[in-house]
Amino acid sequence: MTEPVVESRPITHHEPSNGTPGIIESASGIAQLLTSLQAGRGPIAVDAERASGFRYSQRAYLLQFYREGSEIGLLDPTTDASFTALATYVNAQPWILHAATQDLPCLREAGFIPSSVHDTELAAKLLGRPKVGLGALLEAELDVVLAKEHSAVDWSTRPIPPEWRAYAALDVEFLPDLHQRLAAELEHRDRLDWYEQERATLLTFTGPEPRPDAWRRTSGIHAIRDPRKQAIVRALWEARDARARDLDISAGRVLHDSVIIDIAKHAPVSQAQLTAMRPVHSRNARKDPEYWWAAIESALALPDVELPKRAQADGAIPPPKAWPQRNPDAAARWDVVRPAVVATAEALAIQPEVLISPETIRRLCWEGFSMQQSADAVERMLSVTAARPWQITALVAPITTALQAG
């Protein structure tokens, strides 16, 4: 008689296997963590928790460390105790992170700078996983379900509650097993070289480039067309940014975008008009009307030549839907190259943006490629972009064929 097949069910974890660790903030606790990590083996799983949405800064308020054979360590990086010796040791070991580019800048700020980085999100993307979030991967690969109810809390809170600590510890406990599982499949599918090329770039990653004219990203700015009113938006945005930085409070908690836009629409010409406006009854705007009025007054006093000009993004390329009118030749190239990229990605079972960045393809179609281009020329053009060797190898032939056929 055939035994019935029993399907395994994912196990939900609410705390680590060895219980919820405490917060390390003393010299003795840091020394114990260092000893524990030294006794372990394999790459060190690393994670960081910030207070995004609560604080202006993107500094880390909790750092998590774990490797096979060690205890899970939760380090408070705001402690007065020195953790230089710990950082020196950890920096010399290979790391495992998930979505490394999110945490590397704040880890670097805290003094943790890797010499070798593995990234389980990156590995999952190169394997074509449909969902690459940590929770989805742990469930799919290890039948592990993590309770994620504390993913968006204020990690600057002290003391850190036990349930938050359990959540933070779980974020690193299963990373070594996940890394091993994905690395084995990368090797089996001959994609380990792709992965090595990609992860090498993480060592020099310091964070996204600051955006020029960041005030233009104020939510609702599209409704403000008048240059004088745009100047009010800019002045209020800059005043808010300065205050948020000084107070280390998220900018949206100092003055919401909707309030900035509403003020600009009405363009008050006196502090009395400003304070009479309903949106300024928001708590933080009401605290110091003189401060906000000074910003508005400076915008009202600007000569016309100093008002914001129409946005001119340096080197920005218009969206492809505008190309037929603005650059018909580029539109023709896009119409043959983009499908070739998508088809190649589908054949490799990865997303097109993993195969090549959309910005790279747009720029090459806009000002680089030409019809009837040779394979050597296509390869040269790809080589001067940020494309990796594995991407160039995969794309030269299909792009060349598309251009020559088009």
Query: Using one digit for the tens of pLDDT, what is the confidence trace for 200-237?
Result: 999 999 888 888 899 999 999 999 999 999 999 999 99
Nearest of 190, 46, 186, 175 to residue 125 by alpha carbon: 186
> Are the beta carbons of 289 and 306 closer than 8 angstroms?
no
The ranges of the chain with pLDDT < 50 are 6
Burial of 61 (C-beta count, 10 Å sphere; 0-12/13-18/19+): buried
Measure CA 341 to chain center. Answer: 24
pTM for the full model? Answer: 0.91
Mutual orientation of helices 257-266 and 227-247 as an angle, nearest 10°? 150
For residues 293 and 343, membership in a common domain is answered with: no
What average pLDDT does the structure give for the chain? Answer: 93
Residue 367 domain boundaries: 320-405
- Of 258, 276, 306, the residue that ends a domain is 306
Could you report the per-residue pLDDT of 292-337, keeping only the tens digit for each? 999 999 999 999 999 999 875 556 789 999 999 999 999 999 999 9
- pLDDT for the residue numbered 3: 57
Domain of 290, CATH number, reads 1.10.150.80
- Of 306, 337, 364, the residue that ends a domain is 306
For residues 52 and 186, membership in a common domain is answered with: yes
Structure tokens given for 74? 């939760």
Vertex 196 angle, CA 65 and 387, to 5°: 120
- Of 170, 204, 238, the residue that ends a domain is 204
For residues 120 and 102, membership in a common domain is answered with: yes
For residues 251 and 285, membership in a common domain is answered with: yes
For residues 190 and 59, membership in a common domain is answered with: yes
